[in-house]
Amino acid sequence: VSMAANEQSKKPSESRFKQQTLPAWQPILTPKTVIPAFAVVGAALLAIGIALLLASRSVVEAKADYTDLCVPVADSNGTLGVTNCTVANGNAVRITVSKTMKAPVYMYYELTNYYQNHRRYVKSRNDAQLRGEPPTSYSDLEDCTPLITNGPRTAANFYLPCGLIAWSRFNDTIQLMDSLGTAIVQDTNGVAWASDLEKKFKNPPMNAQGQRLTYFNDQDPSDPANWVSFTDPDFVVWMRTAGLPHFRKLYRVIRQDLAPGTYMLDINSRFPVKGFGGTKSIVLSTTSWMGGKNDFLGIAYIVVGSLCMTLAIVFLVLNIVNPRRLGDQQFLVWQ
């Protein structure tokens, strides 16, 4: 009796779901349904792909690589200083705009071979500290390894902010000039995400203890005017790590049209890239309704759409040359 009861307990309940008796629809794939489906999907993908590709090709870009044109130099102690490549010095970096660039024009800096996506690098930050909450103990900052403290494990020696990301920030300064050497207005409005500025980054109290990060290596860290603001758009943009070793980060926005011609870039170069075999460039770019210049998405849609259309044509030809009647018994195999 107990075995029968046990078997009875394992039986699913008499519901239509558990007994798999719910109404169901199983389509029968026939040439009349498959061929039009492939043709419609292929046509839609081709239309989307062509639209995306045209939008990408409408974006105007100009790029100047200054890796070898403006190399930071080291002083006698081996500390990297600044190399000023400016109009005044006669060695400004030139960038050529081939077509009219309609406002707004976005200025990016581009780095290559820089692995911001390395696990140890990505983890080396403390979000509570970046929200303006000073740490109270060394254990609070363990995520920032190896840049936590400059000496004994006391609050006065904690790096503020701590971590590899903050202390390796891009600190070149760039100003676009016209052919006459006049500075073109560029601003930081919209450079950083509004959600980051509102919720993720706040300055700590002015009297918070710690070793402050300065904008440049040669500045006095005891002067509050030199401290990097946690809400500085350039700092916030840098702290949002890139997923690939070749990346661009938004630097400035130019809210006027740029006519075709040669422009100059006043660059104070401090950020070294030679040591890790990288490069650094300045990119000027417009945008379209789909964003920046990226041909890949449009090409991918066109390739898949073309494949669907090709399959539709192949199936149509096969159906015409060698048609098969639905449910033809001559194709059945009897054992």
Which residues, in sequence order, are bridge partners of residue 111?
247, 280
Taking the chain, what is the end-to-end CA distance rounded to the nearest angstrom? 43
CB 140 within 8 A of CB 159: no
Phi, psi of 44 (to 5 degrees): -65, -45
3-state helix, strand, coil in the chain (%, to 5): 30, 20, 50
Q: Provide the edge-to-edge strand list for the sheet that holds 61-65.
A: 61-65, 279-285, 105-112, 247-254
Strands 261-269 and 211-212, bridge-based pairing: unpaired
pLDDT per residue as tens digits for the range 135-168: 888 998 999 989 999 888 888 889 999 999 999 9
Phi, psi of 125 (to 5 degrees): -160, 160
DSSP 198: I
CB 99 within 8 A of CB 60: yes
Has residue 222 got a pLDDT over 60?
yes
CB 260 within 8 A of CB 207: no
Q: Where are the beta strands (DSSP E) in 71-155?
A: 83-85, 93-97, 105-112
CB 230 within 8 A of CB 130: yes
Residue 97 binned pLDDT confidence (cut-offs 50, 70, 90): very high
- Could you give the CA distance from residue 263 to residue 94 in angstroms, rounded to a whole number? 6
What is the reported pLDDT for 326? 75
What is the reported pLDDT for 75? 59
pLDDT per residue as tens digits for the range 263-301: 999 999 999 999 899 999 999 999 999 899 999 999 999
Query: Where is pLDDT greater, at 176 or 211?
Result: 176
Best CA proximity match to 256, nearest among 186, 174, 189, 177: 186
CB 174 within 8 A of CB 249: no
CB 283 within 8 A of CB 86: no
104 upstream amide cis, omega within 30 of 0: yes
